[in-house]
Structure formats: structure tokens, C-alpha cells
Amino acid sequence: MTRRNIAILAAAALTGPVAAHHSILGKFDDAAALTLRGTVTHIDWRNPHAHIFMNVETSGTTLNWAIEIESPIELALSGWSDQTLLPGDAIVVDGWRARDGSRQAWGAEVVRADNGRRVYQLKDTAPPVPLAARPAPRWPDGSVALGAAPGTSGGYWRYPSMTSLVEDGVEVEISRAGLLADLDEADEVAPLQPWALALFRNRQSRHLRDDPLFLNCKPPGGPRQYQSNLGFQLIEDKASERVFVLLGSGNHNYRIIYLDGRDRVGQVTGDDDNPLYYGRSTGEWEGDTLVANTRSFNEDFWFTSSGLPHTNRLQLTERFTRTDLDTLEYQVTVDDPGAYTRPWTATWTLRWVGGRELPSHFCQNNRP
């Protein structure tokens, strides 16, 4: 683990379990704090973010505000529901005003006025870290199991140690949503070509508000699928020599890594004229590491939350290593001569969430 990764983990611990799936700063201005007092009129419990609608009395006029809060999946995991607040409940909201001046706000803190209790706050749902590493489970043939151990119930991978793509060894301060603390460090994140650096800076300067995952429900293709906040499941189909990657985020998409030696082109959905959000993947085992090679990506999505560009010349080499029962190391080498000056590598870890089902998220009804 690099020093940078350690810094990211420390930053995550300090900021608590805030899990917005994209940069809320694209829509809300953290420099425009506001406090609203009023009564709940409606709870809209839908992805990607739930909303509280509330009436607020202002100078004798009643105005209705939309308060955006975390995703229903995250809130439900923390014990909240659409019945936590009901129409007529009095609340106080501290948050940030929408940049467009509309009556929308990010609900950083929602408190019941009758008893002063805070509601709809996220709890840390990550499983506890074992005191000692437990060995990775293995199949009867001795190979490492990337998913649930043979004979046990489900589980999946979540809680990535990095939530946006940064080249190994680079030290930059970047938020969980992918925003750089210092835009002048943009050229350090990856070896970008000049046009790609300028585009990356443009996206960062706009607080990532143009992210097509948020605006248009585009899938989190490429390495982004392993940095999404709802995790993923790896299911090994030994009989047909393939690994299914099921995603909790995005639109509950899946991809297949073929291990049967087939050629990538023409053997799976799509062809060279029909590039894909997740590309086409073949793989093989190198010891205890699954190595997947993927190409034929389209250019319709962001392959990382921070907005690093890619082109259809992108090829990924992904290395999945379950170092112990609770830890998956994911390493990706990005080779895209259309956007970068050389291949580069990023590495992070994920934590095993044993015995739980993969969350099922579908992007719907965005309110830009």
C-alpha cells in the first residue's frame, strides 16, 4: 500500500461514512450554507438520492423545498426508511444551497424539531477488520476462491481503499467523490496528453457536474466499477470457465471474463464496430492472481469518478489477488495511447462483506 493510499484511508476515516455516489458539489455549493425549518410534505425514496420535500414559511409565504439526502440503499443499510419521517413532521435542515438558485438543498444534517434527534445520517456499515489475517478460501482443486468460499453463503467486495483513479506512487489530495483539493495537481494524477489534461481540468473545475453516470445513468465501466460505493460480486463458473462480475452500483450491470482461451473479438456481445461500456475481457490465472485483459471500450462514459478521459484505444490489464479472506487487491494498468503518454498503473484494495447480499441499485429519476 502506498503512502498515498494511506492518506486516502485517513481522510475517509476523518470525514465519516459519507457515501454520495458522485460529487454533490457539482449541484450544491458548500460555501452557501443555509438552515431551513419547516414541515415534511413528502419523502421521495428513489435512486440515486432520496429527497425530503418540506414546506418552509418565509415572510408569511409558504415555499416548498427539495432536500437531497443520501441514496435509499445507503440509508436503509444505516437503518433508515421512507417512514422515518412522515408528512407533517417538523424538521430542521442544515445544508448547502443549490448552485442554480432553485429551492433545492443538500441535507448535510436533518434533525427532528420535536426531540432534537438527527435522522438520515449514515452509519459505518463496513465489517470490522479482523485482528489477524485469515487465509483466503480455496476451491477443492486448490485455486483461490474470488467470491464466497465453497459451501458458504454469499458475500461481495466493497469499501475500496481508493475511490478515484490515481497513478501508483502519486500523492495528491482528492475527495471520496473524486475532486482534487488543488487543481494545480491535475497533471500529477496520471500521464495525460495535453488535450486530456485540459479536459480533466475542465471537468474538475465544474465540480464533476457533467459526469454522465449522474446525468444520464451511464454505466461505471472500466476500473470505476471497482471503486463504486455499492461494491461488486465475483462469481466463478468453473464448468464454463468464466468469471461473472456483478455490480451493485451503476444499473446492476454485469460483465464476463472468459477463461477458456477464446479470442476477445466476436466471441462476446459486440464487435469492433460496437464498443462496450465494459469492453471485452479474457483472462487467465497467474498463480493466485486472475489477470484479465480488456479492450473495445466505447467513449460514452467516465471510467473514473474524477473525470479522467479515455478513448476507444483503451486497453486494461487487471490483476485480482485475494491476499487473505477479507482482502482483495485490485491492480489496473491503463494503456490508452489516445489519451495518455504512456501506460500507467493504479492499485487499491477492497474488503470482503461476507454473508450479505450485493445491493441492487438502479439509476432512475435523476434530478440534475
Contacts with other proteins, residue ranges (CB under 8 A): 194-195, 197-199, 202-203, 206, 210, 212, 216, 218, 299-302, 309-313, 337-339
CB 321 within 8 A of CB 328: yes
Residue closer to other proteins, measured from CB, 130 or 337? 337
Residue closer to other proteins, measured from CB, 84 or 193? 193
User: To 5 degrees, how large is the angle CA 285–CA 352–CA 306?
Assistant: 85
**Which of 307, 340, 100 has its CA nearest to residue 205?**
307
Residue closer to other proteins, measured from CB, 312 or 333? 312
**Least distance (Å) from other proteins to the CB of residue 340?**
9
Residue closer to other proteins, measured from CB, 299 or 324? 299
Residue closer to other proteins, measured from CB, 112 or 209? 209
> In whole angstroms, what is the distance from residue 215 CA to residue 279 CA?
22
The distance in angstroms from the start CA to the end CA of the chain is: 37
User: Residue 63's Cα: distance from chain center in Å?
Assistant: 34
**Least distance (Å) from other proteins to the CB of residue 100?**
15
> In whole angstroms, what is the distance from residue 275 CA to residue 240 CA?
24
**Least distance (Å) from other proteins to the CB of residue 303?**
9
CB 101 within 8 A of CB 153: no
**Least distance (Å) from other proteins to the CB of residue 315?**
12
**Least distance (Å) from other proteins to the CB of residue 158?**
26
List Cβ neighbours of 131 (8 Å cut-off, separation of 6 or more).
Answer: none
**Which triple of cell numbers denotes residue 293?**
485483459
> In whole angstroms, what is the distance from residue 63 CA to residue 60 CA?
10
**Least distance (Å) from other proteins to the CB of residue 344?**
15
Residue closer to other proteins, measured from CB, 125 or 312? 312
